[in-house]
Amino acid sequence: MDRRFGILTFAGGPFSELARCWRESEQLGFDSAWLVDTFSYGGIVDYEPWALLAALARATSRLRIGPLVTHIAFRHPTLLAAQALTVDHLSGGRVVLGIGTGGPEPRDHPAVGAGDWSGPERAARLAEQLAMLDRLLRGDHVDHVGQFYRAE
């Protein structure tokens, strides 16, 4: 059985401490490191995780890195594709793109102006976003007018 171990950290606090934690995890043999993508953990500064992943990619050399998970309400698919491709380039191909619909209580939706989406709407939005991301991450030009997203 192939076992892999990773760490999950918040996207906040002093960068020097976060970078040290990720470097030490890499030295200890961990395989991956992940950042939380949320706006709802009060009492800690929540940095934008993709920008932070770019910096942490430069502070590490081997860890697979990514968000756990990127919430579909936070980014348009074209922006998310550009962010993921940029960090993947900076990290030498170490990005793992985790994407999801968020938990049952959409705590973060008000922070980004998203509505209170039903379960079926979340699933439909995820399907549309994944279809766009698949094409964008392959480098295809995307003209898309869908139910939820538009890109020209």
Residue 29 forms part of a structural domain: yes
Residue 91 forms part of a structural domain: yes
Residue 146 has what pLDDT? 96
Residue 42 forms part of a structural domain: yes
- In sequence order, the 6+-apart residues with CB closer than 8 A to the CB of 108 are 38, 39, 40, 71, 73, 74, 102, 114
Residue 43 has what pLDDT? 57
Q: What is the CATH number of the domain that holds 31?
A: 3.20.20.30
Residue 74 forms part of a structural domain: yes
Phi-psi bin for 113: left (phi > 0), alpha (psi -120 to 50), beta? left
Q: Are strands 32-35 and 6-9 parallel, antiparallel or unpaired?
A: parallel
Low-confidence ranges of the chain (pLDDT < 70): 40-45, 104-107
Residue 111 forms part of a structural domain: yes
Counting the structural domains of the chain, the total is: 1
Residue 123 forms part of a structural domain: yes
Residue 40 forms part of a structural domain: yes
Q: Which of 60, 61, 56, 97 is nearest to 80 (CA)?
A: 97
Instruction: Provide the residue range defining the domain that includes 140.
Output: 6-151
Residue 85 has what pLDDT? 97
Residue 44 has what pLDDT? 62
Residue 98 has what pLDDT? 93
Residue 1 forms part of a structural domain: no
